[in-house]
Structure formats: structure tokens, C-alpha cells
Amino acid sequence: MPKLVQKLKLTTIRNLVLTLCFVIISGYAGYFLGVHQIKTWNDLLPVLKNETKGNIAQEQTINRSQPSNKNVDMSLFWQVWDKVEANYLFQDKIDYQKMVNGAAEGMVKALGDPYTAFFPPTENKTSKENLNGSFFGVGIQLGYKKDQLAVIAPLSGMPAEKLGVKAGDYILHIKDSQKGIDEDAYNLNLQDALEKIRGEKGTSVTLTLLHEGDSKSYEVTIVREEIIVPSVEVDFGQYINGQYTKEATGSGKLVAHLKLSRFGELTASQWDEAIEKILAKQKDLGGVVLDLRNNPGGYMNEAVNLSAEFLPLGKVVVKQENANTPDQIFKTSRVGRLLDMPLVVLVNAGSASASEILAGALRDNGRAKIVGTTSFGKGTIQSAEDLENGAGVHITIARWLTPNGEWVHDKGLEPDVKVDLDPNNPTVDTQLNKATEMALQ
């Protein structure tokens, strides 16, 4: 693989992990280490109060003093602030709240930890929506093709698909009169595009699109609906001629392909629905392939909960080492429904955080073999907290270890059976094929 392409892919994976894979612990430790420190940091930043003089809305800084319990000199911050305010050429472009957000972002960046991050209000909202898989929009996955904003895939049954939007369509223009948007999409980054295309339920957005290979663009006006992106999906297939064959009608045993794409708020209920489908076919089933590829993580408690589906009661799932509180050990606490079902786990470089916790627990307890490529390697835990103005902060508060005491941070989980995808034959899923074969052995 060319170095540039490899670098871009790794960057994409890391950005996805940074956006989605904050792992939240429950209980007092999470509250104290998250909320307490955030309140302290807020004391170091200016609070802006809106005032109106004549017809001009102005913002006034109402706290410039440093907290008495902190030995920190804030004078440098205020020197820079005052000089910008007094001397910056484009005074009409000064946005004080953005300056505050930038200061908060710089504060946590100074820690040198990519997983401790400040999120301005809009990014914090989008991050939550992406993790939970529920938002108001038109139902398309966005990305880039040849540096142009494009539809990666329309979601099945969603508004965009119903109106003929196709995978690969280039997005040329976005118009929304209610939001005052009427602009070309050529220079939009992904975050800006998401903000403009998403909106309130029942409102509409007009997209100018170009089918790949066509010379004439077309417009489509789409009414926004609630979009729920499933985090759990299951299908059934057979191992025929060396391949996983979906919906096959042969006489061989079935394999359940259980795909888990993230650990969010809706995951538990969607997981239960998928397990019920598996149990309904249990007499014809020869095994399960748990597919964690490209799963960037999510809530740690969900990883612990789902692991109990395959592990006996009381088994260690993950060990947590905290900075200022006693270490913790999380064990399975319910009786699983697939304890005796043959199981294989799929991972790749996009499997991070909570997905690595689940895969590591199943491997270390001798319950499953891991197939694929080395996982991402994120071995820390973040507390995610909301701030008063809608912004948010994720703070690294602990590290986690597999049941056998392995810290996978920056190295990942090594698969028991390494299988690469064939770049020259992208339609063949060699990893799923191998996992299916092993599940039936």
C-alpha cells in the first residue's frame, strides 16, 4: 500500500476513534474526576455576559480573577486577550465565545493526550448523535470522493434513498431557506456539511447532486426525519465453496454473522433483538461470528454487559487502573444466552476501545479465537461531561487491561489468525470467510 494512502487511512481511523470512542465509567469515580475538574477549569476561563448598548449587542467579561486555590498565573492569557481586543485589524470578525472555546481547546491539548479533548457545542452535539445513532436528517453517510463531498451510502428506507439519492452521488450545493443556507459544497469540511444537512424534524433541505458518470446535475428537496442508524445487525449464511454465503439454502449448518458497529445508548435493545433472531434459528446454527471490525468503541458498561452473552457468570471482563481511586475489576453479572455456541471474533485496525475490551475478554477467557488484523490499540478510559453552554470535555481518567493483564494501548490486540483483505478483490471478504470456516469446526 502506498505510504500516502496508508497514512490517510490511519488518519481516518484515528479521527473516527477520537470522535466516537469515549468510554464512560459509572459510579462516583466517574462523577468526581469528570465534573469536579471541569468546574475548576471553568473558573480559569472568562465568563461572557451579553449586554446591549443602543442597538449594538456587546459581550462583557465578568470574571478575570484567578481561583485562590490554584497556583497559576493567568496574566499571560489576559495580556494576549487584551492585545487582540485592542489591536486586531478585523474587529468585526472577533468572536469572543470562539476565543474562549479556543482557549479551552488549547488547555486540554497542552496535556499531550489525544483522547482528552474539548468539544465546542456543535461538535459535542454531533459527537453524541453519532455515538447514539439517532438524529434528525435525510439519511445519508457523508464522505469524500476525489476531494469532493459525496454520498458514501444512502441509509435503507430513509428519506434520501426514497427520493433516488444513490451511493457515489457528488453533493454540489446545499440550500435551506429556514437556516439561511445557500452555498456550494466544494470547500465544506465534513463537520460543516453535517451541520447544514441535519436539522429539525419536518424541515427540508435541497441538495444539488450529480450521479457519478453523468454530466447533468439534479436537485432533490428532502424532508428531514429522525434517523436511527442500527448499531447491531445480524444475518445468516452458510460456508459454501470457501465463502460465507448469505441466505444460502443448502443443507449445511448456518452461521450467524453478528455485526456490532458501536457501543451506544440504543445498543442493548438492538442487541437483544439480534440475539432473539439467533435463538430462533438455534437448532440449525453451527456458530456465531461476532464482527467488531471498524467498531470505534463507546460505552464501557455496554462492552461488559454484552460479554456476558458468551461468558459464564462471574468471569472477569476488564480491569481498570485509576489515578486517584482504588482499581476496579468488572465481571459478568448476568446469565448469557449463547454460552455454548461456537464463537469467532473479527477485528481490524478500526476496532478500538470498547470493542477491544470485548474481544480481549472473550479471548483471555478462552471463549473465542480472534481473526483479522491487529486492532487499533486504545487502552484508556475517558469521562465525558457536558459543560454549561452545550460544550463538552472528555478527560482520560484511567487505563484498562484485559483479564490477563495486557495493556493494548498503542499496540492493539494481535489476532490468533491473521487474515488480510485482498485489495485486488474487494468484493471477497476473506476475513469473514475464514471466521465462518473456524466457527463451524
- What is the per-residue pLDDT for 73? 79
Q: Is 61 left (phi over 0), alpha (psi -120 to 50) or beta?
A: beta
Report the sign of the C-alpha dihedral through residues 291, 355, 23, 366, in that order.
Answer: positive
Residue 65: its pLDDT value, please? 58
Integer Cα distance of 343 and 258 in angstroms: 10
User: CA-CA distance, 275 to 293, in Å (whole number)?
Assistant: 19
**Catalytic center residues:** 353, 364, 378
Per-residue pLDDT, 67: 58
* Segments of the chain scoring below 70 in pLDDT: 1-70
pLDDT at 58: 47
pLDDT at residue number 208: 97
What pLDDT, on the 0 to 100 scale, is given for residue 72?
77
- pLDDT for the residue numbered 250: 75
Per-residue model confidence as pLDDT tens digits over 310-347:
999 999 999 999 988 999 999 999 999 999 999 999 99
What is the reported pLDDT for 434?
98
Closest CA to 349 of 97, 4, 11: 11
- pTM assigned to the model: 0.73
In this predicted structure, what is the pLDDT of residue 19? 43
Contact 222, 204 (CB under 8 A): yes
Look at residue 273 in the predicted model and tell me its pLDDT: 98
**What pLDDT is stored for residue 30 in this prediction?**
25
Rounded Cα distance between 304 and 360, Å, is 11
Which pLDDT value is given to residue 47? 44
Q: Measured between alpha carbons, how far is 240 from 247 in angstroms, rounded to an integer?
A: 11
Give the number of residues written for the chain. Answer: 441
Predicted pLDDT at 430: 98
**Interval 262-305: pLDDT, tens:** 998 889 999 999 999 999 999 999 999 999 998 988 899 999 99
Domains and CATH numbers, the chain: 134-228 (2.30.42.10), 232-439 (3.90.226.10)
